[in-house]
């Protein structure tokens, strides 16, 4: 089934699905508004796929979106590496067989209307599987959206992506990979991901899994050098034993975050209509996740935020959290949520308190949370205080509120008739060098994650500097506490299985 | 203490704090970077306060931010309606006494360093209170940020606000009012609020409550015509009995959402250092909230989203949720979370199913969640399907996924070499008229809230149309389910206390 151990990742059979040399597209047209395939073809083109290697197949049209179209796959000048089918279900069988006749070995079937749609659909699925066996075809789907690969033929090609999904937005490139039974979870979230700084490398919509399943892709990602963290959206697990063994093997090296969508009555009904899967009891999945070190959630936002913080690969050594704020209120709220999540907010030693006293205004209480009250000494906030906390060894992670965009504040000041601050003509880039780089070096060296909160929001230029530098920043203070708690949970899992830390 | 019942809201003593005719500012300067008051004065000026009614007081400066400054309050040409003090704690006593001598009756003390800062601070607080009694002064604080009032002297004045906070961003105007022991919760969140469409009328940072307390403001908001919904951030309740009686009276008419920040060890420690309050057991607060119909949460995001949906004043009659999606995955996830929150996703009757069948593609399953799969019939999605569901009486609320910005999709299509769609030269404003207005009328008439999810995010122009029209829309699918569940919880409370529905 896989050649991975013999010949490396590039020879894994799934590599062709993510990095096809050529692609035949069945069912795309020029009519974007009544044809889902039109946008999918558009996205393949706009990802930078070599145009002369995209072959639209259409019974009537000669030209589709500027590309020469062929009547059937038999007419193509070569055997395409990948067949991509977005036709009505009753048309799929014929073209699938033609793919087989042509010699195509890899097919993605987008079309819905199979086992999730009653007996007729189930029979159709069965016939597809028979043909696949006959012609030795491997296929993804049916009832999926295909793949997104930000590392298309990387590192040979540096700047192209393959996007077969309907969603035209593409996420910033990073080493988070997604495998999902839902095309929505695999693609509709791209806007959100770009907004909050979730950088995705691969996203795979696996649909009904009549052939290739989640376990296959998990196995592929295990050895993928462009995958550091894995996100799973699960409606069912077809090969439970293999899944557990593989997840146990992967999760200590590449953290896995999962959503299991089944487990309640309406959810299971919905899943039956969606991918036709029979969803099992929530408790079974909970115990599988626990056993394999998988971080799980029912929330789509948690899911992406968790993936985001894991992608930094800075795992705390324990669950002691230090909080620095210029606001008592948000400090108290964070403390409460942290304690409810089982985290510890240690009181600082006298030695550390003595150090911190130098960096805070006289009205501030030296405690944890450390409330700086109002102050503009950015260097203390960004460098001196977190450095003292990290070097003390008394905390395993730090949350800092608030990272205000100084440039924007200066613009306001300039327009307000007060004192001029021409001496502060600093750019955000300079500030990044001054305030973020030094502490990031320490963060990495000591393995103490530092999260920031920037209340001006994700579109603020200073907040974007954090995101561009891949430094975790949040708009408000709920999520960083939850994120630290899952890092601590993962750390705890590593300790249990290793008796020691990672690194 | 209050004249409300005799003379209406405008004669309530707190009205002067929110709508002062003139204001003396102690401790503002031109040095924005080492003087918190500089930005506060700036914000008072930029809110549109009559410039000749702002009196900066400063021992040395003659001109502050373009305004004539006075050496002491005694020198002012009139008795200012409000004194606003942002001085070091040891300077407060003197100017507070001078305010008394001048005849000022309303003072806000921003300065920190009082009871939250040990014995010395406690003594200072005591002296302030003695002076207040002597001169018959009412005051907010100390240790607060003051007030934000989007309805400054409304309706006499239509377009000015009073913002004494440090945060220069101001939220869009609406009828949500906040009372908070934390200036951060009362102001730092304004960017977030604007992003997600939370429209705020009043926001009050009450600090240490040495005189005026949360209950006073709650009483004021009870009769405030510009307040429909109330948000409370609580570190302690000083007058428990009065609070409970008042909350019980208010909450059936104006929903109240609350955060109680105390209840864990580090949180209580943090609160002690913040406002000096002694925070009590979580369970006591939980039972108070339950008894008074207050919706509570520990999450700052939940808090604002809940306030946002309550501000529409459409309360469902029960907890039956209908879900419409073009995505099975997010339908399954919503169903699961909904059921875990105790909501019901009813299976539709055959009659309703028959109606819905007309509006969905043949591959769609007619069920709840209703998964439309891929389709571009916007009129069915926005009008026909929700209308059939609402009119059936089988659901109490509806969530619709996904509201895509059609204009943006058309722009992508135009640039993609496919068929031209010049016939769809529709603006978002036209689409609002076509797709949103008719259903909003029905929503109001039937009292069935409809929430939308727009995955392109809050900055998308089509999503902004929803927000501008005050229609609840969310970027992803966690929050609308939680929001519907708190509406249903509130509805349940109303049923219990009334034996009938509101309206």
What ipTM does the predicted assembly reach? 0.95
pLDDT, tens digit (0-9, with 9 covering 90-100), for B237-256: 999 999 999 999 999 999 99
User: What six digits make up the tokens of B486?
Assistant: 């708190």
Judgement on whether residues B286 and B364 belong to the same structural domain of the protein? no
pLDDT value at residue B8: 64
On whether both A226 and A331 belong to a single domain, the answer is no
Number of domains within chain A: 2
Secondary structure letter of residue B432 according to DSSP: I
Share of chain A above pLDDT 90, in %: 80
Q: Chain B: nearest CA to A8, how far in angstroms?
A: 33
Q: What's the pLDDT score for residue A446? A: 97
Arithmetic mean of pLDDT, A234-263: 95
In a domain, B41, yes or no: yes
Whether residue B345 is found in the same domain as residue B304: no
Work out the minimum CA distance from A248 to partner chain B, whole angstroms. 25
Give the whole-angstrom CA distance, residue A465 versus residue B210: 42
Q: Please give the residue that has the higher pLDDT: either B155 or A273.
A: B155
- Give all strands of the β-sheet with B256-260 in edge-to-edge order: B162-163, B146-149, B200-205, B176-180, B229-234, B256-260, B295-296
Q: Let me know if residue A316 belongs to a domain.
A: no
- CATH number of the domain at B413, please: 3.40.50.261
Q: Give the one of A367, A424, A479 whose C-beta lies nearest to B273's C-beta.
A: A367
Which residues on chain A are in Cβ contact (under 8 Å) with B112?
363, 373-374
Residue B275 pLDDT grade (very low, low, confident, very high; cuts 50, 70, 90): confident
A3 pLDDT above the threshold of 70: no
Q: How close does chain A come to B215, measured CA to CA in Å?
A: 19
Contacts of B182 in chain A (CB under 8 A): 327-330, 332
Residue A372 banded pLDDT, cuts 50, 70, 90? confident
Q: Is A100 within a domain?
A: yes
Of the residues B112, B181, B282, B333, the best mutation for testing chain A's interface (the one with the most A CB atoms within 10 Å of its CB) is B333
pLDDT of A277 reads 74
% of residues, chain A, pLDDT over 70: 96
Instruction: Quote the tokens at residue A322.
Output: 């230090």
Identify which has the larger pLDDT, B116 or A254. A254
Lowest-confidence region among A4-13, A196-205, A464-473, B227-236: A4-13
Chains A, B: CB contacts within 8 A come to 287
With DSSP H G I counted as helix, E B as strand and the rest as coil, what are the percentages for chain B, rounded to 5? 45, 15, 40
Structure tokens at A134: 């006959």
User: Inter-chain contact A274–B332, Cβ cutoff 8 Å?
Assistant: yes
Q: Are A230 and A160 members of one domain?
A: yes
Residue A272 and residue A337 in one domain? no
Q: What is the DSSP string of B375-426?
A: ---HHIIIIIHHHHHHHHT--SEEEEE----HHHHHHHHHTTTS---GGG--
Position A356 pLDDT exceeds 60: yes
If you measure CA to CA, which chain B residue comes closest to A186? B329
Q: How far is A362 from chain B (nearest CA, A)?
A: 9
Do B128 and B200 fall within a single domain? yes
What is the least distance, in Å, from the CA of B10 to any CA of chain A? Answer: 31
Last residue of a domain, one of B310, B337, B356: B310
Final residue belonging to a domain, choices A284, A310, A336: A310
Beta carbons within 8 Å of B105's beta carbon, 6+ residues apart: B16, B136, B137, B138
For testing the chain A interface, which of B332, B339, B347, B420 should be mutated: the one with the most A CBs within 10 Å? B332
| B1, pLDDT greater than 60 | no
Cα separation, B224 vs A441, whole angstroms: 53
pLDDT of residue A392: 98
pLDDT band, very low/low/confident/very high, at B7 (cuts 50, 70, 90): very low
Tell if the CB–CB gap between A327 and B298 is shorter than 8 Å: no
Q: Which is more confidently placed, A385 or B120?
A: A385
Of A235, A264, A475, the CB nearest to B192: A475
Distance from CA of B102 to the nearest CA of A (A): 28
**pLDDT at site B333:** 96
The shortest C-alpha distance from B5 to chain A (Å) reads 34
In-domain check, residue B316: no
Distance of CA B460 to the CA centre of its chain: 22
Nearest chain A Cα to B180, which residue? A329
User: Is the pLDDT confidence value at A501 over 60?
Assistant: no
Asked if residues A150 and A202 have their Cβ atoms less than 8 Å apart, the reply is yes
Task: Tell me the sheet residues that pair with B397.
Answer: B321
Q: Do B42 and A264 touch (CB under 8 A)?
A: no
Tens-digit pLDDT profile for residues B200-209 = 999 999 999 9
The answer to whether position A286 is within a domain reads yes
Give the closest-approach CA distance of A212 to chain B in angstroms: 19
| Per-residue pLDDT at A275 exceeds 80 | no
Q: How confident is the model at residue A375 (pLDDT cuts 50, 70, 90)?
A: low
Contacts with A183 from chain B: Cβ below 8 Å? 327, 329
For B401-413, what is the mean pLDDT?
Answer: 90
Same-domain pairing of A287 and A416: no
CA distances from A52 to A45, A56, A73, B449 (A): 10, 11, 15, 51
The chain A residue lying nearest B88, using CA atoms, is A363
How many whole angstroms separate alpha carbon A401 and alpha carbon A381?
9
Are both B305 and B445 inside the same structural domain?
Answer: no
Residue A187 has pLDDT above 50, yes or no: yes
Query: Do B234 and B209 contact (CB within 8 A), yes or no?
Result: no
Write out chain A residues lying below 8 Å of B418, CB-based.
29-32, 38, 42, 65
Of A300, A338, A347, the CB nearest to B333: A300
Residues A9 and A108 in one domain: yes
Using the beta-carbon criterion (under 8 Å), do A113 and B363 form an inter-chain contact?
yes
B455: nearest CB among A66, A188, A339: A188
Tell whether the model's pLDDT for residue A8 goes beyond 70. no
- Residue A320 neighbours by CB distance under 10 Å: 18
Whether residue A206 sits in one domain with residue A158: yes
Q: What is the pLDDT of residue A465?
A: 95
pLDDT at site A7: 45
Interface contact B332-A33, CB threshold 8 A:
no
Domain residues for A326?
A: 321-498
How far does A4 lie from chain B, in Å, by closest CA?
31
Can you give the pLDDT at residue B362?
78
Nearest Cα residue in chain A from B474 = A192
d(CA B382, CA A335): 43
Query: Of B310, B340, B355, which residue sits at a domain end?
Result: B310
State residue A4's pLDDT score. Answer: 42
Lowest mean pLDDT across A63-77, A133-147, B109-123, B326-340: B109-123
Residue B84 maps to a domain:
yes
Indicate if B141 and B66 belong to the same structural domain: yes
- Report the pLDDT value the prediction gives residue A503, as an integer from 0 to 100: 45
Q: What is the pLDDT of residue B395?
A: 98
Burial class from Cβ neighbours inside 10 Å (0-12, 13-18, 19+) for residue B387 reads: middle
Q: Which residue has the higher pLDDT, B365 or A475?
A: A475
CB < 8 Å to B376, chain A:
33-34
Q: What is the pLDDT of residue A1?
A: 40
- Omega before residue A465 within 30° of 0, cis: no
Contacts of residue B32 in chain A, CB cutoff 8 Å?
409, 413, 416, 418-419, 421
Q: Is residue A502 scored above 50 in pLDDT? A: no
Query: Is residue B6 very low, low, confident or very high in pLDDT (cuts 50, 70, 90)?
Result: very low
Picking from B44, B299, B302, B329 by the largest number of A CB atoms within 10 A of its own CB, the best residue to mutate is B329
CB B299 within 8 A of CB B231: no
Does the structure show a pLDDT above 60 at B467?
yes
Q: According to the model, what pLDDT value does residue B3 have?
A: 41
Report the share of chain B in percent with pLDDT over 70: 96
pLDDT tens column, A14-44? 999 999 999 999 999 999 988 999 999 999 9
Residue B482 has pLDDT above 70, yes or no: yes
Q: Are B65 and A416 in contact (CB under 8 A)?
A: yes
Q: Give the Cα-Cα-Cα angle B226, B223, B8 (nearest 5 degrees).
A: 105
pLDDT of residue B377: 82
**Chain CA centroid to CA B417, Å:** 46
Nearest CB to A182: which of B168, B270, B330?
B330
Rounded average pLDDT over B23-27: 98
A315 pLDDT higher than 60: yes
Interface test with B, best of A328, A363, A421 (most B CBs within 10 A): A328
B352 and B205 part of one domain: no
Instruction: Give domain status of residue B315, yes or no.
Output: no
Over residues B365-372, mean pLDDT: 90
Query: Out of B39, B182, B417, whose CB is closest to A327?
Result: B182
- A493 to chain B, minimum CA–CA distance in Å? 25
Report CB contact under 8 Å: A266, B460.
no
Taking CA–CA distances from A89, the nearest residue in chain B reads: B363
Closest CA to A179 of A244, A249, A256, A106: A256
pLDDT at A274: 77
Residues of B in contact with A460 (CB under 8 A): 191
Instruction: State residue A245's pLDDT score.
Output: 96
Q: List the single best residue of A329, A343, A378 to mutate versus B (max B Cβ within 10 A).
A: A329
- Testing the interface with A: which of B268, B336, B408, B455 to mutate, by most A Cβ within 10 A? B336
Q: B56-70, B279-293, B488-502: which range is least confident on average? A: B488-502
How close A474 gets to chain B, by Cα (Å)?
Answer: 11
- The shortest C-alpha distance from B337 to chain A (Å) reads 7
Query: Which of the residues A46, A141, A333 would you substitute to probe the B interface, choosing the one with the greatest number of B C-beta atoms within 10 Å?
Result: A333
The pLDDT, as a whole number, for residue A75 is 97
Whether B235 maps to a domain, the answer reads: yes
Q: Do A33 and B459 touch (CB under 8 A)?
A: no
Q: State chain B's mean pLDDT as an integer.
A: 93
Could you say which of A261, A302, A402 has the minimum Cβ distance to residue B332?
A261
CA-CA distance, A425 to B480, in Å (whole number)?
Answer: 43
Note the pLDDT of residue A109: 98
The structure tokens listed for B355 are 């109606």
């Amino acid at each position: 089934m896989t050649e991975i151990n013999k010949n490396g990742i590039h020879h894994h059979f799934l590599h062709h699905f993510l990095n096809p040399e050529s692609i035949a597209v069945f069912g795309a047209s020029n009519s974007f508004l009544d044809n889902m395939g039109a946008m999918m073809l558009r996205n393949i083109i706009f990802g930078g796929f070599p145009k002369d290697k995209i072959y639209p197949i259409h019974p009537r049209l000669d030209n589709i979106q500027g590309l020469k179209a062929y009547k059937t796959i038999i007419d193509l000048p070569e055997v395409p590496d990948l067949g991509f089918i977005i036709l009505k279900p009753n048309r799929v069988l014929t073209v699938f067989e033609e793919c087989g006749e042509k010699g195509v070995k890899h097919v993605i079937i987008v079309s819905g209307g199979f086992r999730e749609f009653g007996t007729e659909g189930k029979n159709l699925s069965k016939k597809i599987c028979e043909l696949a066996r006959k012609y030795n075809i491997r296929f993804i789907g049916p009832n999926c959206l295909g793949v997104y690969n930000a590392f298309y033929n990387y590192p040979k090609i540096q700047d192209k992506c393959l996007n077969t999904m309907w969603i035209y937005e593409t996420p910033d490139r990073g080493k988070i990979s997604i495998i999902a039974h839902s095309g929505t979870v695999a693609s509709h979230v791209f806007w959100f991901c770009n907004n909050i700084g979730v950088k995705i490398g691969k996203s795979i919509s696996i649909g009904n899994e009549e052939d290739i399943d989640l376990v296959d892709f998990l196995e592929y990602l295990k050895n993928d050098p462009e995958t550091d963290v894995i996100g799973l959206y699960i409606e069912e697990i077809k090969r439970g034993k293999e899944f557990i063994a593989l997840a146990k093997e992967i999760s200590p090296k590449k953290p896995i975050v999962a959503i299991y969508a089944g487990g309640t009555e309406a959810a299971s009904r919905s899943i039956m209509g969606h991918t036709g899967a029979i969803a099992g009891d929530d408790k079974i999945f909970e115990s599988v996740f626990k056993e394999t070190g998988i971080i799980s959630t029912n929330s789509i936002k948690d899911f992406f935020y968790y993936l985001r913080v894991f992608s930094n690969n800075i795992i705390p050594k324990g669950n002691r959290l230090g909080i620095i704020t210029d606001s008592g209120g948000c400090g108290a709220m964070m403390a409460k949520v942290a304690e409810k999540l089982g985290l510890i907010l240690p009181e600082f030693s006298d030695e550390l308190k003595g150090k911190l006293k130098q960096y805070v205004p006289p009205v501030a209480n030296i405690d944890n949370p450390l409330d700086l009250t109002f102050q503009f000494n950015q260097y203390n906030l960004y460098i001196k205080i977190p450095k003292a906390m990290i070097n003390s060894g008394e905390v395993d992670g730090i949350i800092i509120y608030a990272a205000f965009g100084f440039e924007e504040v200066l613009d306001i000041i300039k327009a307000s008739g007060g004192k001029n601050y021409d001496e502060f003509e600093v750019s955000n880039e300079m500030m990044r060098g001054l305030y973020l780089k030094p502490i990031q070096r320490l963060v990495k060296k000591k393995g103490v994650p530092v999260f920031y909160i920037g209340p001006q929001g994700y579109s603020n230029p200073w907040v974007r500097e954090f995101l561009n530098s891949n430094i975790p920043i949040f708009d408000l203070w709920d999520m960083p506490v939850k994120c630290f708690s899952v890092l601590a949970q993962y750390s705890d899992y590593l300790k249990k299985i290793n008796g020691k830390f990672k690194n």
